[in-house]
Structures are given as C-alpha cells and as structure tokens.
Amino acid sequence: MFGVILSQLWIFRDFDKCSGCRLCEITCSLKHEGVVWPEASRI
C-alpha cells in the first residue's frame, strides 16, 4: 500500500457548528502569512 503526504491542509466551515470565534481565520493567516492577520486569511 502506498502512502500519500498532503502538502495542503483544508479547513471546511460548518455554519451549523460555527461559534464565530474566527480561530479558522487566525490559523489560516498564520500558516500562509506567518503572522496572525485574520483579514488576510483565505477563508
């Protein structure tokens, strides 16, 4: 069996479970921009 290493992490929003904490935006900006910048998130 072959293993696959994914180079991207996908974060899916579930609006029914969303509490509005914006942690997904913080995580995205930290990963892609290197700083906590929610406005630059790709979500």
**Top-confidence residue, 28 or 10:** 28
Structural domain includes residue 28: yes
Q: Structurally, how many domains does the chain consist of?
A: 1
Structural domain includes residue 26: yes
Structural domain includes residue 43: yes
* Secondary structure (DSSP) of the chain: ------S-------TTT--S--HHHHHHHHHHHSS--GGG---
Structural domain includes residue 7: no
User: pLDDT (tens digit, 9 = 90+) per residue, 11-29?
Assistant: 677 889 889 898 888 888 8
- The pLDDT, as a whole number, for residue 3 is 67
**Top-confidence residue, 6 or 38:** 38
Domain that holds residue 41: 19-43
Residue 5 has pLDDT above 70, yes or no: no
